[in-house]
Amino acid sequence: MANVAKYRAILLFGYPGCGKGTQGEVLCGMPNLLHLAMGDIFRALDKQSDIGQEFLSYSTKGLLVPDELTVRVWKRHVDKLAADGAFRPDYHVLLLDGIPRTPSQVEYLRPLIEVLRVIHLGIEDQNILVNRLKGRALKSDRPDDADESVIRKRIEVYEAETMPVLNALDKNLITNINADQPPLAVLRDIAEALTPVVPSKI
Ligand code: ADP
């Protein structure tokens, strides 16, 4: 069998509300970076489809979608982008936001991606997260942000299921950044960490 090259990837990692999405949106304006947020991929599914319905049955409760289904949806999306030419693996580094979110997703993705760096956006005070997410609910159509108990559940699920991902990754690849700073200061710290690992091939 031909040796299939892995996709190069940077992982954006942190609590819901830590600013991954905000930073991801800015960074994807940079040449060579392609931002892929798993939550956006799920939300773009047809809500009437079986998979769309399954997604909603978990997300509205603040729960994670099962691993196998998540990785299948992710892979299908990435393969389609590659087929359409929107993702050029020799040019783009993927900026993954919200995946992998469990140690088992790390294992599913291991043969598919080469992780160049992990940006861990840390926040001490959970109330900051809750307030940010409640604020976001007012601006976007996110049922999972509107209800404080669902927000608290997502924070709990993050601690129980997603934090262990950090132990499943090579520690030398992780850069810890304080996400409780103005967004531009967070961006500066991320840019500093990524400059050496993102190629500048135009
Ligand atoms: P947030 O980071 O604010 O929780 P996301 O937009 O990343 O929001 O995700 C929204 C929902 O999509 C999650 O609560 C979960 O139900 C589902 N989801 C997103 N990414 C994953 C993943 N990697 N594994 C399982 N479920 C996921």
59 in contact with ligand 1, CB cutoff 6 A: yes
Residue ID of nearest Cα to ligand 1 atom 5: 39
Cα of 1 vs centre of ligand 1, distance in Å, is 34
Q: For residue 42, what is the DSSP state?
A: H
58 in contact with ligand 1, CB cutoff 6 A: yes
Contact 90, 178 (CB under 8 A): no
101 in contact with ligand 1, CB cutoff 6 A: yes
Query: What predicted TM-score, i.e. pTM, was given to this entire model?
Result: 0.92
Give 56-91 pLDDT, tens digit per residue. Answer: 999 999 999 999 999 999 999 999 999 999 999 999
Section 107-115 average pLDDT: 97
Cα of 16 vs centre of ligand 1, distance in Å, is 8
Residue ID of nearest Cα to ligand 1 atom 16: 59
Cα of 196 vs centre of ligand 1, distance in Å, is 29
Cα of 39 vs centre of ligand 1, distance in Å, is 5
Give 129-180 pLDDT, tens digit per residue. Answer: 888 888 887 777 777 777 888 889 999 999 999 999 999 999 999 999 999 9
User: Can you give the residue ranges of every domain in the chain?
Assistant: 7-194
How do strand 113-122 and strand 174-178 relate by DSSP bridges?
Answer: parallel
- Averaged confidence pLDDT in the chain: 92
1 has a pLDDT exceeding 50: no
Cα 177 to chain centroid, rounded = 16
Q: How confident is the model at residue 118 (pLDDT cuts 50, 70, 90)?
A: very high
Q: How many CB atoms lie within 10 A of CB 28?
A: 15
The CATH classification number of 7-194 equals 3.40.50.300
Q: Percent of the chain beyond pLDDT 90?
A: 79
Distance (Å, whole) CA 104 – CA 168: 9
Three-class secondary structure of residue 15 per DSSP: coil
Q: According to the model, what pLDDT value does residue 53 have?
A: 97
Residue ID of nearest Cα to ligand 1 atom 6: 39
6 in contact with ligand 1, CB cutoff 6 A: no
Distance (Å, whole) CA 119 – CA 11: 6
Contact 99, 70 (CB under 8 A): yes
2 has a pLDDT exceeding 70: no
Three-class secondary structure of residue 8 per DSSP: strand
